[in-house]
Amino acid sequence: MAARKTRKLFQVAKELKLATSTLTDELIDLGYEVSKAQMTPIDDEMYGKLLERLAPEKWAELQAEAERDAAEEQDRSAQKFREEELQRILESDPKETEKAGAAKPTPFVRHLEPDEVIPTAGVDGATMEAASGGGESGEEIVAEAPPVRPAETVATGEREET
């Protein structure tokens, strides 16, 4: 819970601004066996129960700190794992990693004969035929590009007079 493992009864009383007899009575009510001496050691469990009962705001603060510490520890262990994994990958032989990994897929290549007709999408969705003819009228369909306007005209939207 806290940084220190054990505290003395008088230190806890001073921190909570209560009398040592009040703390002793509370600990006895909670079921702990304690002497009335000011130097009685208070462990983390006792300290937590006292804070929960007598100082809820400090208890909430202690819980938030414990959660932050746990999250930071988890982040540190994850970072350490990532660094170890990266180091292992960097130190390993590239040929071994290729063997260990899945085999590279071979690219699919289709060989075509020049006389085959293949429809392909051209400019503006027009269909073009293979160079060997193949069109019913024997003509190739070629789409025309729109006229090019100067950049200034496009930016302003105005027509330039010539």
Digitized pLDDT (tens) for each residue of the chain, 162 residues in all: 445 578 888 898 998 999 988 989 888 888 888 888 888 888 888 888 898 888 889 888 989 998 999 999 999 999 999 999 988 888 887 666 566 555 666 777 777 676 655 666 555 554 544 444 444 555 566 666 666 666 655 555 555 555
The CA-based diameter of the chain, rounded to the nearest angstrom, is 112
- Give the pLDDT confidence score for residue 90 in this predicted structure: 85
CA separation for the pair 76, 62 (Å, rounded): 21
- Give the pLDDT confidence score for residue 35 in this predicted structure: 83
Q: What is the CA radius of gyration of the chain?
A: 40
Q: Is 52 exposed, middle or buried (0-12, 13-18, 19+ CB in 10 A)?
A: middle
CA separation for the pair 36, 31 (Å, rounded): 15
DSSP string, 87-108: HHHHHS-HHHHHHHSPPPPPPP
CA separation for the pair 129, 112 (Å, rounded): 14
- The domain segmentation of the chain, as residue ranges, is 6-90
- Give the pLDDT confidence score for residue 39 in this predicted structure: 86
